[in-house]
């Protein structure tokens, strides 16, 4: 895969943000926001951005398949392509839709490329912060053009910084995670935007993040970015995350040691 593809997809996301997403930020009418499922919002920005990104990706890789969040909402059978051979793009046109619809930050645009079912490249753009992270398997992660070096926190276990998206957790797990967060010095509030959570792992703002729901467009891009920067992305039982795995629950950390410490505090019985 040529570096040109990394640059071209990054440029596609920047153009989509500048031409479609940002002009609609804080400019939505009531009719521009609907529910695609109970509690799940979609805006015209999501729909228009996905159309533009889908068309751009197909131009870059003729014959490839695009699995977009909004397209799957209309036709859930499209998810089967995550397990397909060949090139498959996974797209979240506006991650953090609830924030976007409320006129709040953060929100992000996210893309990942799967080849024969395995993630090989990914991109996350936070257009308001002007952060663009890109990664390719075997070649590391870049944030705003600079390599992201593997790191450890240098903090004590009680000083680890991380967040947990607890509102979808089963009640017993939620109680355990909340109690464990106190042993880590308290959990940071979730941002309602997985893309920003992953970017904050790369910038050092967070050492770990815990999620329950793991839809591929929310997590394939970010887990690849973190792994290529030396981090770890695993299910609660310790098995490595893979987009074809339909289990729930995901703990992502910037290093093996941090994952082990966070898992022991938040999820150990």
pLDDT in tens, 4-55: 799 999 999 999 999 999 999 999 999 999 998 888 899 999 999 999 999 9
Q: Check pLDDT > 60 for residue 157.
A: no
pLDDT of residue 156: 66
Q: What is the mean pLDDT of the chain?
A: 94
Query: What is the average pLDDT across 127-132?
Result: 98
Query: What is the average pLDDT across 182-188?
Result: 86
pLDDT of residue 193: 97
In the chain, % of residues over pLDDT 70: 97
pLDDT of residue 236: 96
In the chain, % of residues over pLDDT 90: 85
pLDDT of residue 158: 67
Alpha-carbon distance values, 56 to 80, 92, 131, 134 (Å): 22, 14, 21, 17
| Lowest mean pLDDT across 28-32, 116-120, 148-152, 243-247 | 148-152
Query: What's the pLDDT tens digit per position in 55-112?
Result: 999 999 999 999 999 999 999 999 999 999 999 999 999 999 999 999 999 999 999 9
Alpha-carbon distance values, 12 to 8, 52, 58, 71, 222 (Å): 6, 9, 12, 19, 18
pLDDT of residue 2: 54
Q: How many helices (H) and strands (E) does the chain have?
A: 9, 13
Of the pLDDT bands very low, low, confident and very high (cuts 50, 70, 90), residue 153 is low
Q: Which residue has the tokens 């991650």?
A: 95
C-beta of residue 83 within 8 angstroms of C-beta of residue 67: no
Nearest by Cα to 225 from 164, 171, 104, 144 = 144
pLDDT of residue 46: 98
Query: What is the average pLDDT across 168-182?
Result: 91
- Strands 131-136, 87-95: pairing kind: unpaired
Q: Check pLDDT > 90 for residue 130.
A: yes
Q: Check pLDDT > 70 for residue 267.
A: yes
Query: What's the pLDDT tens digit per position in 239-248?
Result: 999 999 989 9
Of the pLDDT bands very low, low, confident and very high (cuts 50, 70, 90), residue 196 is very high
pLDDT of residue 228: 97
């Amino acid at each position: 895969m040529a570096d040109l593809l990394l640059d071209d997809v990054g440029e596609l996301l920047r153009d989509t943000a500048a031409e479609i997403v940002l002009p609609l930020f804080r400019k939505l009418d009531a009719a521009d926001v609907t529910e695609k499922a109970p509690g799940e919002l979609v805006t015209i920005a999501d729909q228009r951005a996905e159309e533009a990104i889908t068309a751009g990706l197909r131009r870059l890789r003729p014959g490839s398949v695009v699995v977009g969040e909004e397209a799957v909402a209309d036709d859930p059978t499209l998810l089967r392509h995550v397990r397909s051979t060949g090139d498959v793009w996974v797209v979240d046109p506006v991650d953090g839709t609830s924030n976007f619809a409320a006129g709040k930050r953060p929100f992000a645009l996210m893309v990942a490329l799967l080849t024969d079912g395995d993630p090989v490249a990914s991109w996350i753009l936070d257009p308001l912060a002007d952060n663009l992270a890109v990664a390719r398997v075997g070649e590391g992660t870049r944030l705003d053009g600079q390599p992201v070096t593997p790191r450890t926190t240098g903090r004590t276990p009680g000083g680890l910084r991380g967040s947990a998206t607890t509102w979808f957790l089963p009640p017993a797990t939620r109680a355990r995670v909340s109690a464990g967060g106190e042993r880590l010095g308290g959990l940071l509030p979730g941002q309602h935007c997985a893309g920003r959570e992953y970017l904050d792992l790369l910038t050092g703002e967070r050492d770990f993040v815990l999620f329950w729901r793991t839809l591929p467009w929310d997590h394939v891009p970010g887990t690849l970015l973190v792994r290529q920067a030396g981090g770890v992305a695993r299910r609660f039982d310790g098995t490595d995350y893979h987009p074809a795995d339909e289990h729930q629950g995901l703990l992502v950390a910037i290093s093996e040691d941090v994952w082990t410490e966070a898992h022991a505090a938040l999820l150990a019985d």
